[in-house]
Chains A and B, each alone.
Chain A
């Protein structure tokens, strides 16, 4: 078990470009989450998946953001027409997906740091 992995670790892009990030969860985990962390703040929830179904989306996730988990394994987060305000650390987490979800531990990846120039 290698834990949650994310790719790339760093991304620099110009305003208006599209970017895509990938997350590979822990292999037996059914739930996958995306969070965004800006400098000096705690992570903020963006969205989460139970297998391939996207079950909840934050209001932070504007129309320019889209997330997929097509086969219930890895996930991608795409940001279209990036803006300077999108600069942040994008964190992925996964959990087992047990029925007692309130007690579940989410395991985080190292994050992808995005800088929009």
Chain B
């Protein structure tokens, strides 16, 4: 079946530090890949997505590249801010019989200190 594995958290960084959150996946066929962010007390917001191999998704300084050969979609940001503190979820959307069903990783808590 489909699955997503994220690096264990929580991650604690100082402001302006470099961020990497690892995400690897297992899927049949060619899934689309997503990063969602969840701020305290709120629902999930789409951060970025990539729909085919070698695509790079980017938004608000965050980037992730769809690597089919390593089945990975790592999230990166060059300089984090306190306002980036949230829970980050990697997810995949596969076709075929999984049509429409997002499969999420367990989430990574990010805390950024001033």
Contacts and interface: CB of A to CB of B under 8 A. Distances in A.
Interface of A: 4, 31, 33, 35, 40-45, 48, 50, 55-56, 58, 91, 93, 95, 101-111
B106 A41 contact: yes
B64 interface: no
B105 A42 contact: yes
B21 interface: no
A74 B24 CA distance: 35
B95 interface: yes
B79 interface: no
Given A56-B100, A108-B45, A111-B43, A41 B107 contact: yes
Contacts, number: 72
Candidate in B30, B32, B41, B101 with the most chain A CB atoms within 10 angstroms: B101
Interface of B: 4, 30-32, 34, 36, 41-46, 49, 51, 89, 91, 93-95, 99-107
Contact of B106 (A42, A106, A111): A42
Given A48-B100, A48-B101, A108 B106 contact: no
A42 B107 CA distance: 6
B102 A35 contact: yes
B46 A105 contact: yes
